[in-house]
């Protein structure tokens, strides 16, 4: 049985931890609202530009003049997984869910005989080096960024496009967590290069005339679409991270409270046992006299 001093020190330690987790929960709750508003505000634009690109892509006949971001390079052997995570931990299962989704896709592609390369965006994604040490293509450091801006997503998109132009990969997939609520963040994996073509998009769209032609518009629109999708991923991640951290710290605070109660009961019982032992010894000594 632990001594009274050891129990008292442990209770004090847990109380200090509880104060920290409570403070982290309040900070995450304060940041969540703004991050959630930014993520929800960015969704309509990202979804709309996706629809416009899909509509244009469905009308284009693939030729040598078709932008490579749409037509691809004619190969499907090398896949790049862009895994976006946070820079900090203590966010529950937020990072691990994204990493798990990326690992499932990587294992599926490797089993199919494809070559997989992984580009991590965020510190916590670097854990993938443990599982795929020979597949890491690079890491983009986001630690200096406090509030995500479109320019940050543009830099990531520029690097991805440059790698594609250099022939480093054939297909790119983007992984992030879509924010639904503080309790639910859904891991998402979507193909971003080449742009998936929906054959029904042209049928559902009305008759439209483009000036200039579709290929010229796509040449300018496709890089922007990639940057917008990455920006959406970063915004969704920011909201998901704060929601997951708030929930995790709330659970940690509750668990600390339960542990304090259990330790306090154990402390009181140990103290009572010590007092009882001393009384018995005093009574025994008095009777001996």
For residue 103, give both structure tokens: 């690992």
| 254 is a domain residue | yes
| 27 is a domain residue | no
Same domain flag for 14 and 156 = no
Q: What is the extent of the structural domain holding 260?
A: 4-20+249-288
Same domain flag for 278 and 141 = no
Coil vs helix vs strand at 24: helix
Q: Please give the chain's pLDDT, 289 residues, in tens.
A: 568 888 888 899 999 999 999 999 999 999 999 999 999 988 899 988 888 887 777 777 777 777 888 878 888 899 999 999 998 888 888 999 999 999 999 999 999 999 999 999 989 999 999 998 899 988 988 888 888 889 889 999 999 999 998 889 999 999 999 998 888 889 999 999 888 876 665 555 555 666 776 677 777 888 899 999 999 999 999 999 999 999 999 999 999 999 999 999 988 888 888 788 777 777 777 666 6
Sign of the Cα torsion 63, 68, 73, 75 reads: negative
Q: Which residues pair with 179 in a beta bridge?
A: 185
Give this prediction's pTM: 0.85
Same domain flag for 82 and 222 = yes
For residue 251, give both structure tokens: 């659970």
Task: List CB contacts of 56: < 8 A, sequence separation 6 or more.
Answer: 210, 214, 217, 218, 221
Number of domain units in the chain: 2
Same domain flag for 79 and 173 = yes
Euclidean distance between CA atoms 39 and 51, whole angstroms:
18
Which among 201, 167, 215 has a CA at the least distance from the CA of 70? 215
Same domain flag for 171 and 282 = no
| 29 is a domain residue | no
């Amino acid at each position: 049985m632990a001594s009274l001093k050891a129990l008292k020190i442990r209770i004090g330690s847990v109380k200090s931890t509880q104060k920290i987790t409570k403070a982290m929960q309040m900070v995450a709750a304060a940041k969540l609202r703004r991050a959630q508003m930014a993520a929800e505000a960015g969704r309509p634009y990202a979804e709309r530009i996706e629809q416009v690109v899909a509509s244009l892509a469905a009308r284009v006949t693939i030729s040598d003049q078709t932008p490579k971001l749409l037509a691809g390079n004619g190969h499907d052997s090398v896949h790049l997984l862009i895994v976006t995570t946070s820079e900090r931990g203590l966010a529950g299962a937020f990072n691990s869910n994204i990493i798990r989704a990326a690992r499932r896709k990587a294992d599926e592609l490797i089993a199919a005989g494809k070559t997989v390369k992984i580009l991590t965006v965020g510190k916590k994604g670097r854990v993938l080096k443990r599982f795929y040490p020979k597949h890491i293509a690079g890491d983009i450091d986001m630690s200096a960024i406090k509030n995500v801006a479109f320019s940050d997503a543009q830099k990531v998109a520029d690097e991805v496009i440059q790698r594609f132009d250099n022939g480093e990969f054939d297909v790119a997939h983007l992984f992030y967590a879509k924010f639904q609520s503080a309790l639910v963040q859904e891991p998402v994996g979507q193909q971003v290069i080449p742009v998936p073509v929906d054959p029904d998009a042209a049928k559902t769209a009305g008759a439209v005339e483009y000036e200039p032609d579709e290929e010229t518009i796509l040449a300018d629109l496709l890089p922007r679409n990639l940057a917008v999708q990455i920006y959406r991923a970063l915004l969704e991640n920011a909201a998901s991270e704060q929601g997951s951290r708030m929930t995790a710290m709330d659970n940690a605070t509750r668990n600390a409270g339960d542990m304090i109660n259990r330790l306090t009961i154990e402390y009181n019982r140990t103290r009572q046992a010590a007092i009882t032992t001393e009384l018995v010894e005093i009574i025994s000594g008095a009777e001996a006299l």
